Homo-oligomer: A and B are copies of this chain.
Amino acid sequence: MDLPVFYAPDILPEATAYTMNEDTSKYCIQVLRHEKGDKVLLADGRGHKFTADITDDNRKKCVVRILDRETVPPPARALRVAISFTKNAARIEWFLEKATEIGIQTIIPLVTQRTEKEKIKAERLQNILVSAMLQSQQFYLPDLQEPQAFDKVIKHHHDPQRLIAHCLPEQKQALRDVLQPGKDTLILIGPEGDFTPDEIKGALEEGFVPVSLGNTRLRTETAGMVAVAIIATSF
């Protein structure tokens, strides 16, 4: 049985003990019913994995003793997804959860001409990323960036592999045929209603490669998830 993982964003690398915050303490002691002496893992979201045991099972201030620390190797390459957030918050939240589980390094909320949602609830979304990271036993928290305008994203990101998934019936290849595994990748996922022809033209001029995610019409969050599933399992 795997040890449960708890989030310790403010733990110091050389720590010998750590006090969980109130929410985490409650979750650990009251919900999961851990007790003094139980072994747990801590993740700081920056690749450090601490093995610890509970020395004080206080349900508001759970204290653990650090037994071991290791640095989990970072992913060999970065997967960045710039995606137009959906009007329906649940849909993009679902994407964030699933993308984190599968393996993503950076999420950029993309503001396109047809994007209807430009503001994000950063704290709520951050909590979703943390839960998904812990749930999937990972130790690097994805970086959720501030919303960025489409033009800025296509001009200022220089990942070696830059892709745009769009629905226009123009010449494009299947993502899996274009994909070069092992390269840092940025993929753009458009809003409901797709990118505008001008946006697509602009991206192609900047060197983005147009790709298709299959033969069916996907919702934004589904397109994002399919892209992550294909790219993350190709490295």
Contacts and interface: CB of A to CB of B under 8 A. Distances in A.
Given A102-B222, A226-B229, A216 B174 contact: no
A101 interface: yes
A197 to B, nearest CB: 14
Nearest to A214: B233
How many copies of the chain does the oligomer comprise? 2
A214 B102 contact: yes
B137 A222 contact: no
A233 B218 CA distance: 12
A175 interface: yes
Contact of A216 (B136, B213, B226): B136
A222 B230 CA distance: 13
A69 interface: no
B175 A233 contact: yes
Contact of A214 (B103, B213, B217, B219): B103
Given A176-B234, A233-B226, A217 B136 contact: yes
Interface in A155-184: 174-176
A229 B225 contact: yes
- 5 cross-chain pairs, A with B, having the tightest CB-CB distances, nearest first: A229-B229, A226-B229, A136-B216, A137-B217, A214-B233
Interface of A: 2, 94, 98, 101-103, 135-138, 174-176, 213-219, 222, 225-226, 229-230, 232-234
Given A136-B218, A137-B216, 15 more contacts: A2-B217, A94-B94, A98-B225, A101-B219, A101-B222, A102-B216, A102-B218, A103-B214, A135-B217, A136-B219, A137-B217, A138-B216, A174-B233, A213-B233, A214-B232
